[in-house]
Amino acid sequence: MPGKEGDRIVLREVNLLSKNGKIEIGRPVLKNVEIEATIKGHIKGNKVIAFKYKPKKGYRRKVGHRQLLTVLHLDKIKLLNGESQVTGL
């Protein structure tokens, strides 16, 4: 995710919201919800190894990959339809 550590971002594509025990699921996203978040840092995920070989042919290939990940702190969930906001996450 683009941005530097400490930057504030707004996530508008929210798939699921739980409020007072009621769960709303977006199809594909919820239109009346925004999340304000702060970027806490960028890290790399665990290494994934792709190994392929062909028996009796001497063909072996090993490739590794580490996905770049962004750590977020959710500051506020805004409900755009006039209901109360969820804070203190």
Residue 52 has a pLDDT of 96
Domain ranges for the chain = 8-87
Angstrom CA distances, 88 to 33, 69, 72, 73, 84, stand at: 16, 24, 14, 11, 13
The DSSP result for 24-48, as a single string, is EEEEEEETTEEEEEEEEEEEEEEEE
pLDDT average, residue stretch 1-21: 90
Residue 89 DSSP code: -
Residue 85 has a pLDDT of 64
Tell me the C-alpha distance between 79 and 85, whole Å: 6
Q: Which residues pair with 87 in a beta bridge?
A: 76
